[in-house]
Amino acid sequence: MSTQNDAEAAQVAPDTMDTDAARAELARLADIIARANAAYHSDDAPIMSDAEFDALRARNDQIEARFPDLIRPDSPSRQIGAAPSEGFAKIRHARRMLSLSNAFTPEDVADFVGGIRRFLGLAPDAGLAFTAEPKIDGLSLSLRYEGGVLVHAATRGDGETGENVTANARTIRDIPTPLTDAPDILEVRGEVYMAHEDFTALNARQAEAGAKTFANPRNAAAGSLRQLDPGITAARPLRFFAYAWGELSAPLATTQSGAVARLASLGFQTNPLFQRCDTLAGLLDIYARIEAQRASLGYDIDGVVYKLDDLALQERLGLRSTTPRWAIAHKFPAERAWTELTGIDIQVGRTGALSPVARLRPVTVGGVVVSNATLHNEDYIAGRDSRGGEIREGRDIRIGDWVEVYRAGDVIPKIRDLDLARRPKGSQPQPYTFPETCPECGSPAIREPGDSVRRCTGGMICPAQAVERLKHFVSRAAFDIEGLGAKQVEAFWRDGWITTPRDIFTLEDRFGPGQPRQLKNREGWGEKSAQNLFAAIADKRRITLARLIFALGIRHVGETSANMLATHFGTWDAFRTAMSDAVQEDSAAHADLLAIDGVGPVMARALVTAFEAESDAIDALATMLEIEPAEARATDSPVAGKTLVFTGTLERMTRAEAKARAEALGAKVAGSVSARTDLLIAGPGAGSKAKKASELGVEVIDEEGWLRLSKGA
């Protein structure tokens, strides 16, 4: 009953989509990629390969590029990693550790460079310098030095908070301490990795000792750094490349290349293939040369990272929600192999999605033995896209076929194609019939218009959905209850101890001291472990509004959108009232919900449907909790707390810069004008929004007025 990815197949091209299809596809991709991120970063149980994940992200980015107005607040382009493991103490990063956008083709790199020029308003022939360096396939690490002394080391985690691995990091020989002539506060960011030679030797020692061997050097590095016993880490041959920084008390340099050189002078290992380049052609040439050296480097890389060299321009470009605008990872092509498809299993996820998973004759792909692959959805199996058009020239996939397996990591890969010449003659395999009922509960499995997946209609009566929703509720990005993980949830649900989220908070009353059946007497539990679980549950009765919204498991509402909703409404009561009032689609409350920047019809419908269908259960849960209001945004600016709308053409700054500036000043930016709009900034060409603002009596200013207002803040 584990969630598997119901990822996109080769579907209709973004440039042929209409708005409704694009909106539905972006919603689906947001859900799939969020689950993949949680599985990979939080659960150490990936559900798709790097190649498949990159393909999903690329498709999402392509659709967003064509439909920028449809970008969702929970878009994969706004996500970083996942919550840190519960096995370590947590460290909050002074500055977020971001992820990188991906490029896969020279055209993608050209778009990256062109996008920087457009954002900064630079002419096509204006000079721009970049740096290029190999993208190490390892584990991101942040090292904080104070007065030259290493005070702590943390993994990236979810970008905001990571795992405290200080004791382990001190055992890595490439991490110097103390430092001489360093800024008083210096956070060095880089990648922990394992060389091929060391990896082979480690696996040989593990096999000789009868211990677990590792699939690849990245897994070995991650597993070694995240040992609770630093002695084990010390015995593992880990290495570290430095390439970036976090908080600084004084600048390292004025350029990326200068700052990396400064890190090298402080004693850090920096990549010898790091180069500076002035042209797009030069970047692509570096990429080709590094790719040609890939097999002989002695460590794993999966692409080349390009960064704008000028740090002042980096600052001006700023950040998206999870990635910098001034950097991108140009990924290498993934690896492939052929094998036999021996079966197709259907797995049911938290939202009821029926996900087909291929069972394969084991095959080695890129040094890793794989036996499972995603088959995406019923259309992909049948050889068509979501609109009925042909993919793979209409060739359907059947059990017994020989299929091409595509991967770039060490987990479930993607099936790219099949070889009809190897399909048995005479008694050919029969076409696969996708089930129309849920294999878990027997409920009808329907496919809604615009959706590429078939979903079980059983809701909470479906054991797969019920269990997966409970797992989601206690996941690290939600309630994060120590001692109550996936295995415990499954066991408690199976025995009827926990059937709804509210049951978690009554567990001690029903199975604690003095009760006929006690948790401490259950197999695998004792008095101490039971006490610890009850204490952990009690500790999580106090929860932030954003975490609670995310924990509810509402379809299309990921971590980013939950944060957005929490920030907008501020309190649980305000949010709950808005959801009730917005049930009627022609109501003012529903219009207000749609007016929130990033909330489209799909998310709005999912929100009100969830609260309408499960209001009693949600309200019962809320009574058990102490819900913290959202963190207040900046309050010392003229626009703090106000709702702004931008329209028309801005001439002194791009729309992206204006929006980022407004949000930094504590304002909310909406996509449409309503009675709750406080200020409309109208540039030349303003049309219906300016007219509506006039009708509603909303204050309107021009770009010059906005510049004066924002600079005076």
Return the residue matching tokens 């959905």.
465
What interhelical angle do 572-581 and 615-622 show, nearest 10? 170
Give the HSE-up count for residue 152: Cα atoms under 13 Å, Cβ half-sphere: 14
- 485 class by beta-carbon count within 10 Å (0-12 exposed, 13-18 middle, 19+ buried): middle
Separation CA 451–CA 31 (nearest Å): 12
* C-beta of residue 442 within 8 angstroms of C-beta of residue 469: no
* C-beta of residue 281 within 8 angstroms of C-beta of residue 117: no
* DSSP secondary structure letter of residue 39: I
Nearest 10 degrees: Cα torsion 262, 265, 271, 273: 80
Task: Kindly state the helix (H) or strand (E) to which residue 339 belongs, with its residue range.
Answer: strand 335-348
Identify whether 501 is preceded by a cis peptide bond (ω within 30 of 0): no
User: How far from 194 is each of 376, 399, 640, CA to CA, in Å?
Assistant: 33, 39, 48
Separation CA 706–CA 483 (nearest Å): 51
Can you give the length of the chain in residues?
713
Q: Which amino acid is at 378?
A: E
Residue 135 catalytic? yes
Q: Where are the beta strands (DSSP E) in 35-92?
A: 90-92
Q: Which residues pair with 339 in a beta bridge?
A: 403
* C-beta of residue 245 within 8 angstroms of C-beta of residue 324: no
Return the residue matching tokens 């979903």.
455
Separation CA 620–CA 500 (nearest Å): 10
* C-beta of residue 332 within 8 angstroms of C-beta of residue 291: yes
Task: Kindly state the helix (H) or strand (E) to which residue 707 belongs, with its residue range.
Answer: helix 703-711
Which residues lie closer than 8 Å to 702 by C-beta, 6 or more apart?
681, 682, 683
Separation CA 561–CA 173 (nearest Å): 41
Q: Where are the beta strands (DSSP E) in 99-223?
A: 101-103, 130-136, 139-146, 149-155, 161-163, 185-193
How far, rounded to the nearest angstrom, does the alpha carbon of residue 127 sit from its chain's CA centroid?
34
Q: Which amino acid is at 121?
A: G
* C-beta of residue 38 within 8 angstroms of C-beta of residue 46: no
Separation CA 113–CA 313 (nearest Å): 13
Q: What is the CA radius of gyration of the chain?
A: 26
Q: Which amino acid is at 297?
A: L
Which residues lie closer than 8 Å to 267 by C-beta, 6 or more apart?
176, 179
Q: Which amino acid is at 404?
A: E
Which of the following is catalytic: 135, 414, 689, 692?
135
Task: Kindly state the helix (H) or strand (E) to which residue 682 belongs, with its residue range.
Answer: strand 679-682
* C-beta of residue 453 within 8 angstroms of C-beta of residue 473: no
* DSSP secondary structure letter of residue 388: S
Separation CA 244–CA 187 (nearest Å): 9
- 249 class by beta-carbon count within 10 Å (0-12 exposed, 13-18 middle, 19+ buried): exposed
Q: Comparing C-alpha atoms, which of 173, 136, 176, 182 is closest to residue 274? A: 136
Q: Which residues are catalytic?
A: 135
